[in-house]
Amino acid sequence: MPAATLASRESRGKSRSRLLKIECDSCGMILRGSAGALSGGMPACSCGGRLEVAELASLERVDPALFEERVNMLGLGDRNQLMRTLGYDDAVIRRKCDEHRHAPPRCKHAGCGAFKPAGELYCARHRHLDDTVPF
């Protein structure tokens, strides 16, 4: 195989095939099937166990309702990571925190970005520039 072809295959990462991996929860048997075939219903395992789609991302194509149920059981961090992995950036839930929405107070001296105490114009290093005289 030419080196350029091999390098391009390695750079792509994990191989995506049309066949989805399904596993038996009791005996561990692994099968593969297309999303169209699996959407009609899961096949039965010979041991009597239940076959399930192995990857959550693949479950979305086979059974969207079950996928939504499983996603809702995840914690916020895991759910957001899954949504980013699947490319659903608009489904990421961002926490809103009023404390961090506004920029903290900074020194007014040109070129200084140090934090300043609330109610003052300058940081401790440039406090001498403050022309207001407290009485």
Ordered DSSP codes for 115-133: B--TT-SS-GGGGGG----
Band of pLDDT at residue 100, cut at 50, 70 and 90? low
DSSP SS3 for 81? helix
Band of pLDDT at residue 101, cut at 50, 70 and 90? low
Domain extent for 27: 19-91
On whether both 107 and 64 belong to a single domain, the answer is no
Looking at 91, 112, 127, which one is the last position of a domain?
Answer: 91
**Interatomic CA distance for residues 17 and 78, integer angstroms:** 25
Q: Is residue 39 part of a domain?
A: yes
Q: Which of 29-33, 57-61, 74-78 has the lowest mean pLDDT?
A: 57-61
Task: Identify whether the C-beta of residue 83 lies closer than 8 Å to the C-beta of residue 77.
Answer: no
- State the average pLDDT over residues 7-32: 72
Q: Is residue 107 part of a domain?
A: yes
Q: Is residue 109 part of a domain?
A: yes
**Interatomic CA distance for residues 61 and 82, integer angstroms:** 15
Band of pLDDT at residue 56, cut at 50, 70 and 90? confident
On whether both 62 and 109 belong to a single domain, the answer is no
Residue 8 has pLDDT above 50, yes or no: no
On whether both 76 and 34 belong to a single domain, the answer is yes
Residue 87 has pLDDT above 70, yes or no: yes
Average pLDDT, whole number, for the chain? Answer: 77
Residue 134 has pLDDT above 60, yes or no: no
Q: Is residue 33 part of a domain?
A: yes
On whether both 86 and 106 belong to a single domain, the answer is no
